[in-house]
Amino acid sequence: MQSNHIIVANHVSKVFTDPVDFRVLDDISLTVDKGEFVVLVGPSGSGKTTLMYALSTLDTEYEGTITVDGTDIASLSPNQLAQFRNSTIGFVFQFHYLLPDFTVLDNVSLPAIKAGVWSADEIEERAMKNLQLLGVADQARKRSSRLSGGQQQRVAIARALMNNPKILFGDEPTGNLDSKNTSMVLDILRDLKAEFNQTILMVTHDLQFAERADRVIAIRDGRIVNHE
């Protein structure tokens, strides 16, 4: 029987050595299913962000194994890992990281241009479709620096979806937003899960965020202390 797990972590540990040895992840094992909306919570220094970076392939220096969509991340060369990341994973961070002098459309198009799979017309069509989905298609020709904070974060989500990622990761994606825009982003993420069976894994301090997820994984002192 085929597994529904899209992320599998087995006995993952990580030690920081500067200035002193500190075990930031301590024998963590978990799974995330396809189409599941999971959030990682915990106090500052708990290891939740470090774990998210490992699960999302941004950090490969750890003990144990992490499999994403059936691929053992440690088995990939740096070039293979970069290709895998660009085709399989989308990222949304606390800061949007849009290029301020580029238009919204150009910003959203960048991952697809890098992938080199589609023609220029196809990329523009895909980008506009994503901007429409996120409710910011009317901003496509504006420079990203002219958008509000909430609009910029929605553009960042549109960009993260450009290559049809199997998993959408986020690091405090509503950390810089007010309550209205936070609620809007949450609605968008729930819609992505409901309509497209999008797998979502986010780190957050936001209780409103945690309440809307399918499952909350609480981490303290580098260990999982609760699955809800």
pLDDT at 1: 43
Alpha helices in the chain (DSSP H): 48-55, 78-88, 104-115, 120-133, 149-160, 179-196, 207-212
pLDDT at 104: 96
Domains of the chain by range and CATH?
Answer: 5-227 (3.40.50.300)
Dist CA 54 CA 155 (whole Å):
25
- One-letter amino acid at 206 equals D
Structure-token pair, residue 207: 């209780």
| Reduced 3-state DSSP string for 125-182 | HHHHHHHHHCCCHHHCCCEHHHCCHHHHHHHHHHHHCCCCCCEEEEECCCCCCCHHHH
Order of strands across the sheet with 37-41? 89-93, 167-171, 199-203, 37-41, 215-220, 223-227
pLDDT in tens, 37-77: 999 999 888 999 999 999 999 998 999 999 999 999 989 99
More confident residue, 9 or 1: 9
If we measure between CA atoms, which residue out of 88, 102, 226 comes closest to residue 165?
88
- Please state the rounded mean pLDDT for residues 103-125: 92
pTM over 0.75: yes
- Please state the rounded mean pLDDT for residues 161-174: 90
Residue 150 · residue 180 · CB < 8 Å:
yes
List residues bridging with 202 in a β-sheet.
Answer: 39, 170
Burial of 113 (0-12, 13-18, 19+ CB in 10 A): middle
Q: Looking at the predicted structure, is the pLDDT value of residue 23 above 80?
A: yes
